[in-house]
Amino acid sequence: MMTSHDHHTHEAHSTHQGHGANEGHQDSTTEYDQTYWDTFYDERPAIWSGQPNPQLVTETAGLTPGTALDVGSGEGADAIWLARRGWKVTAVDISQVALTRGAANAAADEESAALITWTRQDLLQWAPPESSFDLISAQFMHLPKTEREPLFTRLAAAVTPGGTLLVVGHHPSDMESGAHRPPRLDLFYTAEEIALLLDPERWDLVTESRQRTQDHDGETVTIHDAVLRARRVS
């Protein structure tokens, strides 16, 4: 199992079922199960920076708060940011260590912490309830196509009419950028590829390759995020 969630904040790592295949430092024989990710988080007191993913901030700042699903929530930066803006968040991750850490990070603000439910699930197997969330955010979930497409299809089914599906990933062009990326092109995708999974008669679709710069080993590199914002119209 190889999944990816880059809680942007620390892109030296970039895959998880919420987190990640530490940018090429893992081999394909590793079992990416709960034990693996619990050990991954136990290695350090904090893996990610604690800041929300930038495209989540950009794309949701103008939305009316409702119910949200944070897919691969890691240490909770996105879930906490959403809750502080009034969203009722279900934060899902395979690692109980990550979820416990996220809850501890959220505890400083009791009002927003009360809006977050921390839920351990294997995202490769779990199907969220259909038509249940006004916002579903999947940030840097990098899976092989045979696992990625069923996951995103299940997530789309869980969006309420009028709700938003936000999928953000590393664009395939990043393989040539100098950024730390695992040497597996099959893990990367464009927003247009994900949009093909959605019926255009049921969704308003916006796809972009969005450029930003980032420091890698003391050098500034230009990377691109594949951003799909889809609003369910029926």
pLDDT in the model for residue 79: 97
pLDDT in the model for residue 50: 66
Render each residue's pLDDT in the chain as its tens digit; 234 residues.
Answer: 334 344 443 332 334 444 433 333 333 334 677 887 777 777 776 665 668 999 999 999 899 999 999 999 999 999 999 999 999 999 999 999 999 999 999 999 999 999 999 999 999 999 999 999 999 999 998 899 999 999 999 999 999 999 999 999 987 765 565 566 666 767 889 999 999 999 999 999 999 998 887 776 777 888 789 999 999 997
Q: Give domain limits for the chain.
A: 22-232
Nearest to 142 by CA among 20, 34, 9: 20
pLDDT in the model for residue 220: 81
Buried b (16+ CB within 10 A) or exposed e, 146-165: eebbebbebbbbbbbeebbb
Which CATH number fits the domain 22-232, given the four candidates 3.40.50.150, 2.40.128.120, 3.30.300.30, 3.40.50.20?
3.40.50.150
